[in-house]
């Protein structure tokens, strides 16, 4: 649940699109279906193509064996090399000449284009000439030694492969330059490499001096991150352990000769016997030095590897996989300036703080505890993502919450006073002002609303500042913020808390369905007896939700004009969930206000720790989503409808629950949490979608 | 050729391998496995890293069995399902391709 930095970035960017996409559904439902099906069809088509190609894999593999004298996957290199070395040497001599010609062609082309490229590209062109002679030398020397029958063929390909990789990289660069988006990334990488100065070990340095980066680049592009279909094919056919023939979970490729071996004995015995040092781990593309007995990190190789990863992502139409966090120059300086580190261990209390009761403010305290323990919200605030105009920051609730997070995680154990937060709420949500007891649910909604408004305001101020720097458009910002229509917003509150409710009204006369969508922040559930289904009282949260999403007959008193048959008819109405937010909060309506009596319903409602919301979705058959949720906070009310006290159970760390009762924080068991009455239940999505 | 080798080859060829790998990586990060294993490595290094002869191989052999047991069943199940879907889709499409003249 706790995401690391790079992940976090993507999490908060993508749900936006996800949300937006679903808002567009609002306007045209039929339309939205099209792109998805088109995409599916495209993928299908692609797969089919692959399937067709897959059928002859076996024969090609066999052909490859005879034609290229490649190693049988089940026999060892050494046994087969003795029989085939003669043949391979002969055929290679011929092919070697051919490739030399080809290579010259490449060098020419490269130099022609060289001026347009940046530093790395010119470096390769300069090196190009050198490689030509160099490679042939290695081809020859290897033939003499007869190290491996695959050598010759793969060395032949090396030039072609290198050409492909370079060409692809250049294409990628130019397309990036057009977009202009990756310019920052590149400069970041440059800065970081300057700061980090990772140069591998001395063995790797001497390896690079002798062999250049080309072998690494090609092996990485073909066997670690397969940059195109050809590479995947080559990997599928050739890339298995030369010792045991397995396609192993972790294969290493020797960078001195052509040799694949499983992790452990297979690759190390090769490296030892051949006195080769550098190998590439193929599932993650990490360099390994046998002389150091360690993995090594080299900035330049990493750049090439990143290019290959980008190419792979582009070819497979996927997002680039997980990348290690490399601090930028700015981040490095920050880390150096703040030398003190705090490590979070299990059973640590960091992140927990009691809150003083300022006179019947327990309704606020319990909501603040629940909000502070919302993983996505803490990710947002702990990474300092809120950027407010400095002038109004004392008026901004988001800034105040941001400050609260700093206080919670400062390590201090003394209880905190929320007077500033309370004051801000009083100013912005007038109905909550005063020293009376308030409803925690009302406070929660009001807080989300104010946070949402302030996020929008901060963003529009920011935009107007950056758009017209210093033209004094302060007055415009307020108008633009009001034009932000509710729901189409990508502020952190809407990203985390906003879901979409679908209500279908079915006309009883013509069965015409009219569908409307409404955004929601929480789901309020009735606990009283049902009037229609024989007076059943719900006993579990699931019961409540089933009741909530059940088709409801609107009765003869409430006839609605049907848009299809243009007449007033009786109809049924049914709610379902169109989209779910990352955090779903359920409000159990324990306080009943009716004309006759105001009362609190204290009946026990069983609620689960984890549950799947799929049955309540509008599109149940949609297999794309994962709607599993986990409980992370429960707000309880003890007392009567007029007076009482609020406490909260929050999940502090995985499987650790604490009870927050104003300034007192105690450990709690899961049983205690589940046995509690429950007023507000907060559930967090288990799996965050990236699209 | 064994079944697993065939599956390996097929997934590598279609590029699904790399997508599955990405999925696994993100799931392991999401469920906290990554952090747990990192922490485990750290504690081991603090204990034994003082003598210079402690190598990364030793660390791997020590961590691997523990780290394997830490992988949540839900993650394993999801991955298995994913692979199964990919293979059945392939099967269906192979059938379709046969039906087509």
User: How much is the average pLDDT of B12-26?
Assistant: 86
In a domain, A545, yes or no: yes
Query: Cα–Cα distance between A164 and A159 in angstroms, integer?
Result: 9
pLDDT score at A682: 96
Residue A24 corresponds to which tokens in the numbers above?
């567009």
- What is the Cα A374 distance to its own chain's centre? 17
Three-state DSSP class for residue A637: strand
pLDDT at A368 over 80: yes
Chain B positions touching A293 (Cβ under 8 A) are 55-57
Which residue of B13, B32, B55 is in closest CB contact with A57? B13
* B90 has a pLDDT exceeding 70: yes
Q: What pLDDT, on a 0 to 100 scale, did the predictor assign at position B96? A: 65
pTM: 0.60
A2 touches chain B (CB under 8 A): yes
The yes-or-no verdict on residue A511 having pLDDT over 90 is: no
pLDDT at residue A609 is higher than 90: yes
Chain A residues inside the 8 Å CB shell of B56: 293-295
Q: What is the mean pLDDT of chain A?
A: 72
Give the model confidence (pLDDT) of A643-690 as tens digits. 889 999 999 987 899 999 999 999 999 999 999 999 999 999 987 775
Q: Which of A42, A240, A322, A612 should we substitute to test contact with B (largest number of B Cβ atoms within 10 Å)?
A: A322
Q: What is the dihedral of CA A403, A406, A412, A418, to 10 degrees?
A: 30
Alpha-carbon span A636 to A668, nearest angstrom? 14
Q: How far is CA A324 from CA A6, A8, A284, B59, in A?
A: 8, 13, 11, 20
> Any chain A CB within 8 A of the CB of B8?
yes
Residue position matching structure tokens 């294409």: A171
Contact between chains at B15 and A232 (C-beta distance less than 8 A): yes
**Euclidean distance between CA atoms A287 and A201, whole angstroms:** 10
Mean pLDDT, to the nearest integer, of A121-139? Answer: 36
**C-beta neighbour count of A662 within 10 angstroms:** 20
Cα A482 to Cα A453: distance, rounded to the nearest angstrom:
9
Summarize pLDDT for B58-69 with one digit per residue, the tens.
Answer: 888 899 999 999
Q: How far apart are the first and last CA of chain B?
A: 30
Task: Decide which of A329, A347, A381 is a domain's last residue.
Answer: A329
pLDDT score recorded for residue A166? 77
Question: Is the pLDDT at A486 greater than 80, yes or no?
Answer: no
The answer to whether the CB of A577 falls within 8 A of the CB of A500 is yes
Provide the token pair at A627: 């709607």
SS3 state of residue A550? coil
The reply to whether A127 falls in a domain is yes
Considering A121-125, A301-305, A320-324, the range whose residues carry the highest mean pLDDT is: A301-305
Q: How far is B60 from chain A (nearest CA, A)?
A: 10
Compare A488 and A530 and report the one with higher pLDDT. A530
Q: What is the pLDDT of residues A32-49, one digit of tens each?
A: 334 444 444 444 444 444
CB contact at 8 A, A680 and A523: no
Mark whether A386 is an active-site residue.
Answer: no
Q: Is residue A39 part of a domain?
A: no
A88 has pLDDT over 70: no
Residue at A589 is within a domain: yes
The CATH architecture annotation of domain B3-88 reads Orthogonal Bundle (1.10)
- Which member of A226, A362, A396, A562 is catalytic? A362
Q: Nearest CA to A171 among A307, A333, A25? A: A307
Of A329, A364, A387, which residue sits at a domain end?
Answer: A329
Across the interface, do B35 and A2 touch by the CB < 8 Å criterion?
yes
Contact A318 B1 (CB under 8 A): no
- Phi and psi at A611, nearest 5°, equal -155, 160
| Most confident of the following: A22-26, A99-103, A258-262, A324-328 | A258-262
The pLDDT score that the predictor gives to residue A490 is 81
Smallest Cβ–Cβ distance between A3 and the set B14, B19, B29 belongs to: B29
Calpha distance A686→B17 (Å, rounded): 24
More confidently predicted of A130 and A449? A449
Instruction: For residues A438 and A429, give the distance between their C-alpha atoms in angstroms, rounded to a whole number.
Output: 12
Per-residue pLDDT, averaged over A356-380, amounts to: 92
Q: What is the CATH number of the domain that holds A625?
A: 3.90.70.10
pLDDT tens sequence across A166-182? 777 777 777 665 554 44
Report the candidate in A358, A342, A337, A346 with the shortest Cα–Cα distance to residue A406.
A342
Cα Rg for chain B, rounded, in angstroms?
A: 19
Q: Look at residue A476 and tell me whether its pLDDT is greater than 80.
A: no
- Give dist(CA A446, CA A364) in Å, integer: 11
pLDDT at A340 over 60: yes
Quote the tokens at residue A494: 């809407």
Is A349 inside any structural domain?
A: no
pLDDT higher than threshold 60 for residue A470: no
Q: Best residue in B3, B13, B98 to probe A by mutation, most A CBs within 10 Å? A: B13
Q: What is the DSSP letter of A684?
A: E
- What residue ranges do the domains of chain B occupy? 3-88
Residue range of the domain that includes A613: 499-685
Query: What's the total number of domains in chain A?
Result: 2
Question: Is A366 among the catalytic positions?
Answer: no
Rg (CA), chain A: 32
Catalytic residue of the set A203, A211, A284, A645: A645
């Amino acid at each position: 649940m706790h995401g690391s930095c790079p992940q976090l970035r993507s999490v908060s960017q993508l749900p936006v699109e996800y949300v937006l996409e679903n808002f567009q559904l609002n306007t045209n439902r039929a339309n939205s279906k099209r792109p998805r099906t088109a995409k599916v069809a495209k993928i299908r088509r692609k797969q089919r193509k692959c399937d067709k190609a897959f059928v002859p894999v076996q024969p090609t593999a066999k052909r490859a064996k005879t034609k290229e004298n490649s190693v049988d996957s089940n026999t060892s290199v050494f046994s087969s090399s003795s029989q085939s070395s003669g043949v391979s040497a002969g055929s290679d001599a011929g092919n070697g000449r051919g490739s030399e010609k080809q290579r010259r062609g490449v060098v020419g082309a490269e130099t022609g284009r060289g001026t347009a490229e940046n530093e790395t590209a010119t470096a390769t062109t300069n090196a190009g000439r050198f490689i030509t002679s160099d490679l042939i030398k290695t081809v020859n020397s290897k033939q003499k030694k007869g190290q491996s029958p695959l050598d010759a063929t793969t060395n032949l390909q090396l030039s072609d492969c290198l050409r492909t990789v370079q060409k692809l990289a250049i294409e990628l660069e130019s397309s990036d330059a057009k977009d202009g988006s990756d310019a920052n990334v590149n400069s970041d990488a440059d800065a970081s490499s300057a700061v980090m100065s990772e140069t591998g070990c001395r063995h790797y340095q001497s390896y690079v001096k002798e062999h250049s980066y080309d072998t690494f680049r090609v092996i990485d592009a073909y066997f670690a991150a397969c940059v195109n279909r050809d590479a995947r094919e080559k990997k599928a056919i050739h890339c298995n352990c030369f010792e045991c023939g397995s396609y192993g979970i972790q294969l290493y490729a020797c960078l001195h000769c052509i040799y694949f071996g499983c992790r452990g004995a297979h690759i190390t015995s090769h490296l030892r016997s051949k006195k080769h040092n550098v190998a590439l781990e193929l599932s993650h593309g990490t360099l390994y030095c046998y002389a150091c007995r360690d993995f090594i990190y080299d900035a330049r190789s990493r750049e090439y590897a990143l290019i290959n990863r980008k190419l792979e992502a582009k070819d497979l139409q996927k997002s680039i996989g997980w990348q290690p966090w490399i601090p930028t120059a700015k981040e490095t300086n920050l880390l150096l300036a703040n030398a003190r580190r705090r490590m979070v261990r299990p059973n640590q209390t960091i992140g927990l703080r009691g809150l003083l009761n300022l006179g019947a403010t327990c309704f606020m305290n319990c909501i603040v505890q629940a909000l502070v323990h919302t993983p996505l919200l803490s990710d947002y605030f702990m990474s300092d993502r809120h950027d407010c105009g400095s002038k109004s920051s004392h008026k901004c609730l988001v800034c105040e919450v941001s400050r609260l997070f700093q206080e919670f995680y400062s390590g201090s154990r003394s209880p905190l006073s929320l007077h500033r937060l309370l004051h801000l709420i009083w100013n912005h949500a007038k109905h909550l002002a005063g020293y009376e007891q308030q409803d925690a649910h009302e406070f929660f909604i009001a807080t989300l609303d104010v946070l949402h408004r302030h996020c929008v305001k901060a963003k529009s101020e920011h935009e107007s500042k950056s758009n017209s720097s210093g033209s004094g458009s302060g007055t415009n910002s307020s108008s633009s913020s009001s034009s932000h229509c509710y729901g189409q917003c990508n502020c952190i509150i809407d990203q985390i808390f906003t879901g979409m409710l679908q209500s279908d009204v079915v006309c009883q006369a013509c069965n015409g369905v009219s569908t409307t969508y409404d955004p929601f922040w929480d789901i309020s559930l009735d606990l009283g007896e049902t009037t229609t289904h024989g007076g059943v009282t719900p006993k579990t949260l699931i019961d409540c939700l089933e009741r909530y999403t059940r088709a409801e007959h609107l009765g003869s008193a409430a006839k609605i004009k049907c848009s299809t048959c243009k007449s007033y008819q009786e109809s049924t109405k049914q709610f379902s969930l169109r989209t779910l937010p990352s955090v779903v909060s359920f409000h159990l309506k324990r306080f009943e206000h009716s004309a006759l009596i105001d009362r609190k319903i204290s009946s026990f409602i069983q609620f689960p720790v984890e549950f799947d919301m799929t049955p309540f979705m509008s599109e149940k058959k949609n297999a794309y989503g994962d709607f599993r949720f986990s409980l992370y906070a429960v707000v309880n009310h003890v007392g009567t409808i007029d007076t009482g006290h609020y406490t909260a159970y929050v999940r502090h760390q995985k499987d650790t629950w604490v009870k927050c009762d104003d300034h007192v924080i105690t450990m709690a068991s899961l049983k205690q949490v589940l046995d509690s009455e429950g007023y507000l239940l907060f559930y967090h999505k288990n799996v965050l979608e990236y699209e | 050729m064994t079944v697993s080798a065939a599956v390996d080859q097929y997934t590598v060829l279609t590029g699904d391998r790399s997508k599955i790998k990405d999925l696994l990586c993100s799931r392991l990060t999401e469920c906290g496995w990554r952090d747990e294993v990192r922490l485990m490595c750290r504690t081991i290094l603090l204990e034994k890293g003082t003598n210079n002869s402690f190598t990364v191989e030793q660390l791997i052999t020590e961590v691997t069995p523990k780290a394997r047991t830490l992988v949540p069943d839900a993650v394993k199940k999801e991955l298995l399902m994913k692979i199964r879907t990919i293979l059945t889709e392939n099967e269906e499409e192979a059938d379709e391709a046969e039906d087509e003249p």
